[in-house]
Amino acid sequence: GSKLAYFAPADARFRQYLDNHDFDLTLLSFHHDGHYDYLDEQLITMPDKQQLEDYFERMLAGLKRFHDADVLAHFDYALRRFDITPDQLEAWGKPLLDQIFTIAVENDLALELNTKSMYRWGNAPLYDQAIAWYQAAGGHLFTIGSDAHEGPQYEANFADALAMLKRHGVKEIATYRQHQRTMVPIEPPVIDADNAY
């Protein structure tokens, strides 16, 4: 698969790249504000509310222009270095996330549960909340990703993410081959690793 960190000025280049490559799936993410990656030091001094709103506004604008992907990856990426509570996410982000999830659902984008965000960065409560909002928008497609940049992180905390999905009544997750979706039952769990972040 390919993870596409969307950036509006490169829209045509992204589309051309995807047209010229054969991937099983494309994950759509939003990694930077046009100048800096959201995890860069330059941005972590921004007030929490401003960072959250700026990030979701950019994500919403990006999704309106580009949604030719299979999965919306780590919806919380810009929040990883901030201590955003579920109450703050609801107060500051829910109106934007409702629009984001509506566009995702209209375009068959699965919502990724990113276990690095959830368990290494401590954002599991935000994902618990986002699952319900995505479902309220009509969403039923979920994937799980470990964002593994090293072998030992592969499938880290997948059992925890599956348990969270089950608490929300989710019975299957989406997998992709040649952009064709296959739904895989959660029970019995098919996880080879029991590692954690």
Q: What are the backbone angles phi and psi of residue 182, rounded to the nearest 5°?
A: -125, 130
Residue 195 included in any domain: no
What CATH number does the domain containing 106 carry?
3.20.20.140
Three-class DSSP category at 126: helix
Domain region containing 59: 2-185
Supply 42's token pair: 């330059």
Cα–Cα distance, 86 to 22 (Å, whole number): 38
In 3D space, the residue among 125, 155, 55, 44 whose CA is nearest the CA of residue 97 turns out to be 55
Residue 6 included in any domain: yes
pLDDT tens-place string over residues 84-118: 999 999 999 999 999 999 999 999 999 999 999 99
Residue 146 included in any domain: yes
pLDDT tens-place string over residues 120-147: 899 999 999 999 999 999 999 999 988 7
Residue 181 included in any domain: yes
Residue 124 included in any domain: yes
Number of domain units in the chain: 1
Say what the pTM is: 0.87
